Amino acid sequence: MVSNQSDTFDIGGELTVHRLGFGAMRLCGPDIIGPPEDEENARDVLRRADDVGVDFIDTADSYGPGVSERLIGEALDASRDDLVVATKAGLLRNRESDWIAHGDPDYIRNQVLASRDRLGVETIDLYQFHRPDPDTEFEASVQAFAELKDDGLVEHVGLSNVTVEELETARDHVEVATVQNEYNVGNREHEDVLEACEEYDIGFIPYAPVGWGDGFEGETREAVESVADAHDASVYQIALAWLLEHSDVTLPIPGTSSVEHLEANVAASDIDLTDDERATLGGL
């Protein structure tokens, strides 16, 4: 039977979760706009994630927009003490499926109310600033999140798509519980951000944990395929296993709209890489 075998991390020093989580972006329609064709299937995926021990779910108000949060609120009791649901604010969507940065403090304060309603919670476990907005002072956006925490609307504050310098700036205004940046075995652009998170015991949520599209290319794919063959696993499972072993603060959130794919992702938490395999993948 598939079950989440990853070890745990305490988000903000308080919220204990298994480190392998679930990203709920793919539960929406094409281009992450509108509802999925089969909403009951999407709810089944969420319930199955809960069944197999996934207790950390990541979403955002911009997924749908609003659709992913609504489906989570319908399928699960997001107020449970043994389930952590993280969401985000700071991006606008349109019918052309663009992602438009919008960090206006008033917008953030409005969106937290909508997210609470869709998720069915009084307090959001982890509320993340989705992306810095070039048209809004970064510190003003962060201060809005800090005030939401002070007001009890959110329990912990996270950041996404930030540099080390922006992380340091944010920490002057609020305790930062997590950072979510793109990171995987084939993309280490934000290694410095991961190292800062390790130093401060901040959870690092690597989005696109198995890459985009077909995953990885060239030398990276060849190396991952070689390790996958040795474990009778997929390249995606090895990519997840590597993230879990690469750092104690990583919280991978692979997403899918398929129960079968979900179970395959969770099974990756039971893969133990050898020292040589870790060295090979780590040196890519």
Place of tokens 């070890």: 7
Number of C-beta neighbours around residue 120 at 10 A = 16
Q: Which residue out of 63, 127, 207, 236 is catalytically annotated?
A: 63
As beta bridge partners, residue 58 has 23, 86
Q: Is 2 exposed, middle or buried (0-12, 13-18, 19+ CB in 10 A)?
A: middle
200 labelled catalytic: no
Strand residues in 130-199 grouped as ranges (E): 154-160, 176-182
The letter for the amino acid at 129 is F
Distance CA 280, CA 242 (A): 11
Q: If DSSP codes are grouped into helix, strand and coil, which group holds residue 74?
A: helix
- Catalytically active residues, by annotation: 63
